[in-house]
Amino acid sequence: MKICIDPGHGGGDSGAVGTQPFRLEEKDFNLGLALLLEEELEARGHWTILTRRKDRSLSLPARAKLSNRTGADLFVSIHANAAGNPAVKGMEVYHFPGSKAGQAAAARILESIISAFPTHSNRGVKEANFAVLRITDMTAILIETEFITNPKQLQFLADPENQQNMATAIADGIEAIV
């Protein structure tokens, strides 16, 4: 399967920023997880492309166009969530409204992630008119791994073992939709 992995944000766009008990910018977390996911998927025989491999700016249309040019079968955008209330937590996966393939992929991948991290809140599969979901020609999902603004979840996201397990869980979910 050809999979385009999109580490959300980058360059001058830090995305959300966790500050307690330490500082972590979403763009850095997203890129790290995307690189681990790429390694995991390639080890399983999938073909992957990343929309960015370093800390650089890339517009939302450019991300989708890159994916469309490659003929990818699946577009996976990686993110960490944020909220004004630091107690908010949980994982969720988005797909474009009305996309049955997107809904099925989002459900399988979220199920796999929650199975790997059963103590985390399942915020469900959701629809959104996000540009990267709307402009892509293939099945597309956007994963919100956890809330970087929640101090406990920030520590979870920053842990290298959790990042590797998250990459494995996402890859398992992707393989369940093949």
Largest CA distance in the chain: 42
Q: Residue 46 CB: number of other CB atoms within 10 A? A: 18
Bridge partner list, 10? 13
Closest by CA to 8, choosing from 70, 76, 103, is: 76
How many residues would you count in the chain? 178
Closest by CA to 143, choosing from 158, 161, 159, 157, is: 157
Can 161 be counted among the known catalytic residues? no
- Active-site residue, selected from the candidate residues 40, 92, 144, 146: 144
> HEC states along 117-156?
CCCCCEEEEEECCCHHHHCCCCEEEEEEEEECCCHHHHHH
Bridge partner list, 78? 7, 143
**What residues are labeled active site?**
144
